[in-house]
Amino acid sequence: MGAFTYYISTLVVYFGIDLLSAWSLNLQYGYAGVINFSFIIFQAIGAYIASTVVLGPDTGINAYQTYLFGANLPWPVPLILAALAGAALSAVIGVFALRRIRRDYQAAVMLIVSLIALQVVSADVHLFNGSNGLTGIPKPLEGALNVSLASYQWIYAAFVLAICAVVYVIVQKLCRSSWGRSLRAIRDQEDAAISIGLNPTLLRLEVFILGGAIAGLSGGLLVEFIGAWSPGAWGYAETFVIFTAVLVGGVGNNRGVILGIFLVPILFLELPRFLPAFGYPGLIDAIEWMVIGALWMLGLLVRPRGLIPERRFVAVRGGSGAIAFDGAAPGFFGRLLMVGRGDGVPMRRRAATVAQPAPPADKATAGSASERTELS
Amino acid sequence: MHLFVQSLGFGVVTASIIAIGAMGFTLQFGLTNVLNLSFGSLMTVGGFVAYLAESAGINVWIGLVLGGLAGAASTLIIGKTIFKVYARRGTRLFEMVMVTLALALIIEYAVDAISRDQIYQLTFPQGTTFNVGAISITAAQLAIVIIGIGIFIALEVMLKMTRLGKALRAMAVDPSLARSCGIPTDRIINTTWLVSGFLCGVAGVVFVINALSVDSYTGTLFLPSVLAAAILGGVGSPGGALVASLVLGVVTELVAAAGGSAYSTVAAFGVLVVVLLSRPSGVLTAASRKVELTV
């Protein structure tokens, strides 16, 4: 098998897994405004659970690794358990981190969780074999399929992309549902959302758990592919690769983040592999991380909503009251029609559904440039 | 029993290190409303300055001041350039926290690149060991505790008894009103960056004096404790930060002494979780209050 096809098929798998991660984060940050700085630990727990339930019971014979929840479960079960583990951990963390506190506090608490989780799992060998991590995780159905390594790679890549397609459809449906509108309402106008009977804490918890499930699933898919998992794979900074991709691609736009994932983790982080090595080992990594940070800051400065920003939701008259349409849904002519009609909607109805563009923040208003919840 | 009393002594030392950082953090956060997650990385910078000073044969106390000055200078520069640019562009509070974290990432890996990804050992003399009952504490550790208490007293005096402190407190409550009262807000903000940055650098140095090693991840590892203490103690309150640090420091060391050294930070974090869940007014009412960036 050519090394190149092997490399490309590996990249396709990574692309799919990163996409799942990005949609999970986008659901939380883009739609609900939850700044999940601990994202990577949900992927990590999914990976750990998916590994231990196929590694067999920890009888102590395998002296080189110790772990919890050892079992021998048939193939699709580990992935389901991984998603459930991600959801369960999200529920636990969400219960205290998503209280009605300032969003920057929430973010700080999540970062603390991420740092501490890394410390604990590295230090305690009884959980998931400490800093050495788990190895020897069998590839699912490798024996049953009985194909060459190259074919297996491509089959797995197709499987990951198929899961991506399913998750995409679910996420898009949810984002366009009334639940998705509630999420955007609590993101943009929390006080107004409360006044019409929405519960921001509960909605945030729901989206947090859903995102956690997707993250867990992505972790399970990743570990079944690479066959090993250790704390080195989920440092707190890993979250920011995905975050940067979402910020670059398009906050609140599930198609935009596809571009972001292609640009940041795939193109940007893979290209340096072709550079001649220079400096001491680790220098290129360090530079990559610095550039990720710089990209992130630049994104926030220049295009806080990403290259392909969230589509404006325009209220149209007719049907059953004010219905929010995704600007992309009706096609080009439909959109022309809708913009025209949207302009005719009375202001008091539009105010609830139309996302208004942020006015230019000049020096005069910079003083109150804080939680301007009325702006999107 | 002996072990627990001894760990109480360690707890006080750990608490002093956390407290120095947390007091700087809470002062900065209380005035500017920037939840500065790059605080940890700047602590690392302070620690490395102390290491460089030591290897150049400079006295450890001068190294402490140098580390503090490095923290002060870098915080002022970051505050006056990066944070100011973002605030001017209308960056919201929760976006600012992302900016500070990106900055933390950049600083951490810049230090990593410069330090060649190595761990550096230090050889500060720890001095004679004092025994007070079951507690034995080295001269260096005692000095850290004294520095912590000294900084607390100095901050309290500055905040409560000087005109600068009065202006600072006024600005923390209402920046635009303070400005219209003729308070030179720019100068006050600069002073805050300098003082909080100095404390940040000093915290990094005392951490290194106690731990005797430094690498690019040192400050980031210590950031959870500082953040937890600052959030627990209430925004802008050095006294609160001190008490919270004491609780966190003692809990950390007690759990470590009980055999769960892997879980010592978790226990400290548990304290924060309990406080978050039991809704103290200090932490949670902030959601409804209008707060703005003042940089």
The interface residues of chain B toward chain A in range 159-218, judged by CB-CB distance below 8 A, are 175-176
Q: Count of alpha carbons within 13 Å of A197, Cβ hemisphere only?
A: 1
Q: Count of alpha carbons within 13 Å of A1, Cβ hemisphere only?
A: 15
CB nearest A366 (choices: B88, B113, B279): B88
How much of chain A, in percent, has pLDDT values that exceed 90?
33
Q: How far apart are CA A239 and CA A42, in angstroms?
A: 10
Residue B294 domain flag: no
In the prediction, which pLDDT does A147 show? 82
* B117/A100 touch (CB, cutoff 8 Å), yes or no: no
Q: Is the pLDDT of residue B280 over 60?
A: no
Residue B292 domain flag: no
φ and ψ at residue B5, rounded to 5 degrees? -65, -40
* A293/B269 touch (CB, cutoff 8 Å), yes or no: no
Comparing B265 with A246, which gets the higher pLDDT?
A246
A52 and A69 Cβ atoms separated by less than 8 Å: yes
CB proximity B98 to A under 8 Å: yes
Residue positions counted in chain B: 295
* A370/B33 touch (CB, cutoff 8 Å), yes or no: yes
Q: Is the pLDDT of residue B125 over 90?
A: no
Q: Which residues pair with A313 in a beta bridge?
A: A326
Comparing B233 with B74, which gets the higher pLDDT?
B74
- Using one digit for the tens of pLDDT, what is the confidence trace for B12-55? 999 999 999 999 999 998 888 888 999 999 999 999 999 999 88
State the burial class of residue A110 (Cβ atoms within 10 Å of its Cβ: 0-12, 13-18, 19+): buried
- What does the domain layout of chain A look like in residue ranges? 3-236, 313-363
Q: How far apart are CA B40 and CA B202, in angstroms?
A: 12
Q: How far apart are CA A11 and CA A271, in angstroms?
A: 12
Whole domain around residue B181: which residue ranges? 2-287
Residue B293 domain flag: no
| 8-state DSSP, A321 | S
Mean pLDDT of chain A: 80
Dihedral sign (CA A110, A114, A116, A117): positive
Count the domains in chain B.
Answer: 1
Q: How far apart are CA A178 and CA A328, in angstroms?
A: 17
Instruction: Please give the helix or strand (H or E) that residue A345 lies within, else none.
Output: none
State which of A205-214, B108-117, B119-128, B219-228 shows the largest mean pLDDT: A205-214
Range in A84-88, A134-138, B84-88 with the lowest mean pLDDT = A134-138
φ and ψ at residue A33, rounded to 5 degrees? 75, 20
Q: Specify the CATH number for the domain of residue B148.
A: 1.10.3470
Nearest to B12, CA basis, from B138, B199, B153: B138
Range in A9-23, A264-278, B185-199, B247-261 with the lowest mean pLDDT = A264-278
For range A220-239, the mean pLDDT:
90
Q: Cβ contacts (< 8 Å) between A363 and chain B: which residues? A: 88
* A111/B286 touch (CB, cutoff 8 Å), yes or no: no
Q: How confident is the model at residue A340 (pLDDT cuts 50, 70, 90)?
A: very low
Residue B34 domain flag: yes
Chain B residue with minimum CA distance to A375: B92
* A372/B90 touch (CB, cutoff 8 Å), yes or no: yes
Comparing A87 with A74, which gets the higher pLDDT?
A87
Q: How confident is the model at residue A125 (pLDDT cuts 50, 70, 90)?
A: confident
| 8-state DSSP, A61 | -
Q: Cβ contacts (< 8 Å) between B276 and chain A: which residues? A: 96-97, 99, 101, 109
